[in-house]
Amino acid sequence: MSTSLKQIRLAAGFPGVNNTTVWSDPAAGSQIAFDSFRHVAQTAERGKLDFFFLAEGLRLREHAGKIHDLDIVGRPDTFTVLAALAAVTEHIGLAGTINSTFNEPYEVARQFASLDWLSGGRAAWNVVTSWDAFTGENFRRGGFLPQDQRYERARTFLRTASELWDSWHGDEIVADKETGQFLSTPAPGGFTHEDAHFDINGRFNVPRSPQGRPVILQAGESDEGRDFAATAADVIFSRYSQYDQARAFYADVKNRLPKFGRTRDQLLILPAAGFVLGDTDAEAEEAAREIRLAQVSPATAIRFLEQLWNTDLSGHDPDGPLPAFDPVVSEIGGLVAKGNAGARQLAKSPVALANQWRAKAEAENLTTRELIIEVTGRQSFIGSPATVAAEINRFVQDDASDGFIIGSHLVPGGLDPFVDKVVPLLQERGVFRTEYEGTTLRENLGLAPLGAVTATPVAW
């Protein structure tokens, strides 16, 4: 019997703008002050986590003409935050979500190459493709990209950025100390790229960085999104943290790799996961219940309901049953929360989903608020530290994931108990590092080196 255990990959997602962050807790702090970012990143590094992760939203979400409560904390610029964190951390990877629809390759390639230099090889890019017209209004004269072109643009965007990163050849500058003459210098190569999305040529202005290119993450679930990840990504950030769904997603994506000439260990799958700890499993369950109540206030429950019903429900009683009438079916717009992917998912078949919700509420005798608490997802791991460590390990050893991007409901101290209580148990089991193995993020994630620059750098 093989005794080799898979090593778990763990990242810390900064608890951003979402309905799972609890502001009412006395320990809740700023979501935008540097101290909060620093605390989470340094805590994650203390726990030897692989990387710190920032999601991104390019437009404040709104609903019925009002900005979502949580969005008013704002969304500071990803590169600025990660560059500042590079200065106060030494080992942990720094992953930023950057959109391929509303940016340009030269600029993004330069920003990631700079971050990789500043951090000594710790940069990672989560390539997302959000395309909606609502976000697009902030960019490019209000123009946006049709949905069916977003992955085509993402693919060519990443290919173009790689051409820029790979355009430098040669070693570091070596000079003769006596004469001052250069013995060797890196050579910025020229680049020319022309396709339906980009028509650029020139010279890239940042030398090849320690990792060569950032570690590439992808977050998207469509068939096209999965293929994109299978061809070009090192890591997938997924939503699937329930065991059966996670295993199915894992198998699906890993089975796509051979088609693109890649092996199973070249793509890591890390679902988002929340946790609640207690001294005993029962205490943790009780704490989780309290947290869910704080996460879904009566007002939040009504806002959520309005997204599916697509009509004003401000007079609806959150402690009563679900509305007896069916949702209003219309094109995206109206009261559906603008710019909210969740709302788009909800809007796909609203009447069918409303029927499911009613059936569940009736069967389990749930009020509107209780139902919303159930359907908006509970934390993935609830229990004593021993229970949570065992569950995380089970997921990974059973090929339901390669690890997790851990989120918490509290900024900035929410990750601390995970690092203090769960990480040591994983280390005791021999499934999580006790020291960083390498200097770059790519090395720490156990990903194969990129190798020398070739004319066609990657398979796609």
Ligand X SMILES: Cc1cc2nc3c(=O)[nH]c(=O)nc-3n(C[C@H](O)[C@H](O)[C@H](O)COP(=O)(O)O)c2cc1C
- Residues lying near ligand X in the complex (CB under 6 A) are found at 55-57, 97, 99, 128-130, 219-222, 225, 237-239, 272, 341
Q: Which is nearer to ligand X, 329 or 341 (CB)?
A: 341
Query: In terms of CB distance, is 136 or 383 closer to ligand X?
Result: 136
Residue closer to ligand X, measured from CB, 222 or 263: 222
Of 227 and 374, which has the nearer Cβ to ligand X? 227
Residues 353-365: b if buried by 16+ CB within 10 A, e if exposed: bbeebbeebeeee
When the beta carbons of 8 and 128 are compared against ligand X, the nearer one is 128
Structure tokens at 195: 């396709």
CB of 98 to ligand X, least distance (A): 9
- Burial label, 69 (beta-carbon count in 10 A; 0-12, 13-18, 19+): middle
- Write down the least CB distance from residue 54 to ligand X, Å: 8
- CB of 224 vs ligand X, minimal distance in Å: 6
Residue 424 belongs to what H/E stretch? helix 423-428
- The residue nearest ligand X at its CB is 225
DSSP state of 324: S
Report the alpha-carbon distance of residue 276 to residue 300 in Å, rounded: 21
CB of 152 to ligand X, least distance (A): 13
Task: State which H helix or E strand residue 52 sits in.
Answer: strand 51-54
CA 258: distance to chain centroid? 25
Complex with ligand X: residue 130 or 368, whichever CB lies closer: 130
Packing angle of the helix pair 105-118, 150-165 (nearest 10 deg): 50
Smallest separation (angstroms) from ligand X to the CB of 237: 5
Strands 182-184, 174-175: pairing is antiparallel
Question: Shortest distance, CB of residue 126 to ligand X, whole angstroms?
Answer: 7
Instruction: Quote the Cα angle for 369-346-16, to 5°.
Output: 70
Minimum gap (Å) between residue 149 Cβ and ligand X: 13
Q: Which of 440, 283, 407 is nearest to 17 (CA)?
A: 407
How far apart are the C-alpha atoms of 421 and 406, rounded to whole Å? 14
How far from 316 is each of 150, 324, 368, CA to CA, in Å? 39, 11, 9
CB of 135 to ligand X, least distance (A): 8
86 contacts 41 by C-beta, under 8 angstroms: no
Instruction: List the one residue out of 396, 332, 346 whose CA is nearest residue 375.
Output: 346
**Which among 88, 17, 13, 79 is positioned nearest to 50, based on CA atoms?**
13
- With respect to ligand X, which residue has the nearer C-beta, 127 or 277? 127
Residue 223's Cβ-count burial label (10 Å; 0-12, 13-18, 19+) is: exposed
Strand partners, 217: 126, 235
Nearer to ligand X, 157 or 309 (CB): 157
Closest to ligand X by CB, 56 vs 374, is 56
Q: Shortest approach of ligand X to residue 243 CB, angstroms?
A: 17
**Distance between CA 158 and CA 127 in Å, rounded?**
8
Nearer to ligand X, 220 or 412 (CB): 220
Query: 423 burial class (0-12, 13-18, 19+ CB within 10 angstroms)?
Result: buried
Q: What's the min distance (Å) between Cβ of 130 and ligand X? A: 4
Closer residue to ligand X in complex, CB, 57/350 = 57
| Smallest distance, ligand X to C-beta of residue 377, A | 12
